[in-house]
């Protein structure tokens, strides 16, 4: 069983960013500043020939043609907090949960 022995804080200054490998556990403490915190996540960057077998991956195709049709294609959002976009995000997160938490005894919220 994994036991946390030590954490190493990574303090960022304005304009900096941190990149994480998908298998690294990471998180942020509360934002105590008067500035908003902005997060940007790229869930995956995969070729159209890659099939996800545990759940469905929702994708925005960057280029080329999808000859394989393995993924659920989505469009870019056009409005902030649009009801349809929020519903799609929730569906995509449900599918990601199937992938991330397969065989897990406890499921987290993200």
Write out pLDDT tens, residues 83-95: 888 898 899 888 8
* 3-class DSSP state of 84: helix
Indicate whether 23 belongs to any domain: no
Q: pLDDT band for position 66 (50/70/90)? A: very high
Chain mean position to CA 12: 21
Report the number of distinct structural domains present in the chain: 1
What pLDDT sits at residue 44? Answer: 64
Q: Which domain holds residue 77?
A: 35-104
Indicate whether 93 belongs to any domain: yes
Write out pLDDT tens, residues 67-80: 999 988 888 877 77
φ, ψ for residue 58, nearest 5 deg: -90, 125
Structure pTM?
Answer: 0.52
The total number of residues written for the chain in this structure:
110
What pLDDT sits at residue 47? Answer: 86
């Amino acid at each position: 069983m994994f036991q946390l022995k030590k954490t190493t804080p990574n303090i960022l200054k304005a304009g900096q960013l941190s990149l994480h490998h998908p298998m690294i556990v990471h998180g942020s403490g509360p934002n105590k500043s008067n500035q908003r915190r902005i997060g940007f996540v790229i869930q995956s960057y995969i070729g159209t020939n890659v099939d996800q077998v545990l759940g469905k991956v929702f994708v925005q195709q960057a280029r080329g043609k999808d000859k394989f049709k393995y993924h659920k294609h989505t469009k870019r959002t056009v409005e902030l907090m649009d009801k349809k976009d929020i519903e799609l995000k929730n569906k995509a997160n449900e599918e990601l949960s199937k992938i991330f938490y397969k065989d897990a005894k406890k499921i987290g919220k993200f």
